[in-house]
Amino acid sequence: MVAEKKTPLPNLMGITRIRATPSRLRLSVVKATSEKESSGDVPEDDPSFNPFGFVTDNPSSRSAIQLPESPAEDGNVGQMLYRTEDKGREFGSTIKAGKLRWFVRETGSKESRRGTVVFLHGAPTQSFGYRTVMSEMSEAGFHCFAPDWIGFGFSDKPQPGYGFNYTEKEYHEAFDKLLDTLEIKSPFFLVVQGFLVGSYGLTWALKNPSKIEKIAILNTPLTVSSPVPGLFKQLRIPLFGEFTCQNAILAERFIEGGSPYVLKNEKADVYRLPYLSSGGPGFALLETAKKINFGDTLGQIANGFSSGSWDKPTLLAWGIADKYLSQSIAEEFEKQNPQNVKLRLIEGAGHLPQEDWPEKVVAALRSFF
């Protein structure tokens, strides 16, 4: 497969390129020292004028909340939804498990000779990030599933208090029902990535070790010292959280904030679509962030996967350019159970290795599984 060309972050607000390779660029943020910035007198027509504090200058992100010089050329939110509503549903269908409807991507078949792989995403993203990895893994002989967690992507987003309250226990119970509905036989291979619901994927694994043959963990908080990104802290602030969760571009900004690359417009459209369609995804994210106990959850993960507690083969496929979770977190986690946990670094990938470098993730998973 020919590697997809990545789009590096632009030189905006003091971002400077420091090292280049033929297909990727490394970036470093340096302190702006121009006379205009030091004086605070930056005219609005200056290219660096950035009142909303964008992570990048991605035209897709900017057009979501800023009007162009000729607004009629870009259309309104309704027209944006019309242009994007059919995007991002590759390999997917809606499946009802219990009272909840899940959007689940599937590649391969039950007859696939190498076994079943279940991919779980983190917040505030969706299973769309696994589309390329799933496609290539099925070509290698695996049967692959990737659901959007309840409250995320194209799955149901119930109002809190009406059948689903976004707690760890409820996520685990709903996931069990989904596995039964999909008739996924145990043991299977599990891949987990990301914050909040990603962490719940790991705590589910700790409670169901007999259902897992091997587990691969992409960039996910694994130790009690793992930092909590600012987005999730903001969501837990009364009133400010309610405002923050309705930012239609929060998902793409979060992805770009943890990566050395800019999302292409067509990808950003998909990550934005659920948050543009209704207020439901934002409030689901808000409730999930408010209900999680970060210290307790990370303690469960750190202790549960340590030597003497966990004996399943475990791969850490870690994007070393992650701006939220450093490589040292993965190294510390590996040291707690060196017999069963193996670390494989993915150079050039950020917080979502499956989006930044899917071909390297596929190579790591095929070798491990």
The per-residue pLDDT for 163 is: 85
Average pLDDT over residues 69-91: 59
Q: What is the pLDDT of residues 275-310, one digit of tens each?
A: 988 999 999 999 999 999 999 999 999 999 999 999
Q: In angstroms, rounded to a whole number, what is the distance separating the alpha carbons of residues 357 and 369?
A: 18
Whether the link from the prior residue into 51 is cis, omega within 30° of 0, is no
pLDDT at 89 over 50: yes
Backbone angles phi, psi at 130, to 5 degrees: -95, 0
pLDDT one-digit tens code per residue, 222-235: 999 999 999 999 99
Asked if 115 and 189 touch (Cβ cutoff 8 Å), the reply is yes
Q: Mind listing the pLDDT tens digit for each residue in 12-36?
A: 444 333 333 433 444 433 333 333 3
Residue 41: exposure state from Cβ atoms within 10 A (0-12, 13-18, ≥19): exposed
Residue type, 288: T
Provide the β-strand partners of residue 191: 119, 216
The mean per-residue pLDDT over the stretch 327-342 comes to: 97
What is the pLDDT at residue 143?
Answer: 97
User: What would the pLDDT profile of 228-260 be if each residue is shown by its tens digit?
Assistant: 999 999 999 999 999 999 998 999 999 999 999
Q: Phi and psi at residue 168, in whole multiples of 5°? A: -60, -45
Tally of CA atoms within 13 A in the half-sphere of 190 that contains its CB: 29
Residue 343 has pLDDT above 70, yes or no: yes
- Positive or negative, the CA dihedral 162, 168, 170, 171 is positive
Asked if residue 265 has pLDDT above 70, the reply is yes
What is the three-state SS of the chain? CCCCCCEECCCCCCEEEEEECCCCEEEEECCCCCHHHHHCCCCCCCCCCCCCCCCCCCHHHHHHHCCCCCHHHHCCHHHHHHHHCCCCCCCEEEEEECCEEEEEEEECCCCCCCCEEEEECCECCCHHHHHHHHHHHHHCCCEEEEECCCCCCCCCCCCCCCCCCCCHHHHHHHHHHHHHHHCCCCCEEEEECCECHHHHHHHHHHHCHHHEEEEEECCCCCCCCCCCCHHHHHHCCCCHHHHHCCCCCHHHHHHHHCCCEECCHHHHHHHHHHHHHCCHHHHHHHHHHHHCCHHHHHHHHHHHCCCCCCCCCEEEEEECCCCCCCHHHHHHHHHCCCCCEEEEEECCCCCCHHHHCHHHHHHHHHHHC
Contact of 1 with 136, CB cutoff 8 Å:
yes
Q: What is the pLDDT of residue 113?
A: 87
Percent of the chain predicted with pLDDT > 90 = 71
| Of residues 39 and 293, more confidently modeled | 293
**Neighbouring residues of 268: CB distance < 8 A, sequence distance ≥ 6:** 58, 60, 61, 249, 252
Q: Residue 216: which region, alpha, beta or left (left: phi > 0; alpha: psi -120 to 50)? A: beta
Question: pLDDT tens-digit profile of 167-176?
Answer: 999 999 999 9
What is the structure's pLDDT at 161?
84
For the chain, the average pLDDT equals 84
Handedness of CA 55, 59, 61, 67 (dihedral sign): positive
Residues 75-99, mean pLDDT to the nearest whole number: 75
Q: Is the pLDDT score of 354 beyond 90?
A: yes
Mean pLDDT of 351-363: 98
In the structure, what pLDDT confidence band is assigned to residue 87 with cuts at 50, 70 and 90?
confident
Read off the pLDDT band of 109 (50, 70, 90): very high
**Position 56 pLDDT exceeds 50:** no
Phi, psi angles (nearest 5°) of residue 163: 100, -15
Question: What was the pLDDT predicted at 14?
Answer: 40
Work out the average pLDDT over 74-80. 51
Q: Tell me how far apart the alpha carbons of residues 122 and 249 are, in angstroms, rounded to a whole number.
A: 16
The residue-averaged pLDDT of 79-104 equals 83
Between helix 168-182 and helix 197-207 the angle, nearest 10°, is: 70
Q: What is the pLDDT of residues 145-187, one digit of tens each?
A: 999 999 999 999 999 888 899 999 999 999 999 999 999 988 9
pTM value?
A: 0.81
Where does the pLDDT of residue 200 fall: very low under 50, low under 70, confident under 90, or very high at 90 and above? Answer: very high
Residue tagged 């050329």 (tokens):
73
Residue scoring higher pLDDT (209 or 22)? 209
Residues with Cβ within 8 Å of 133's Cβ and at least 6 positions away in sequence, in order, are 119, 354, 358, 361, 362, 365
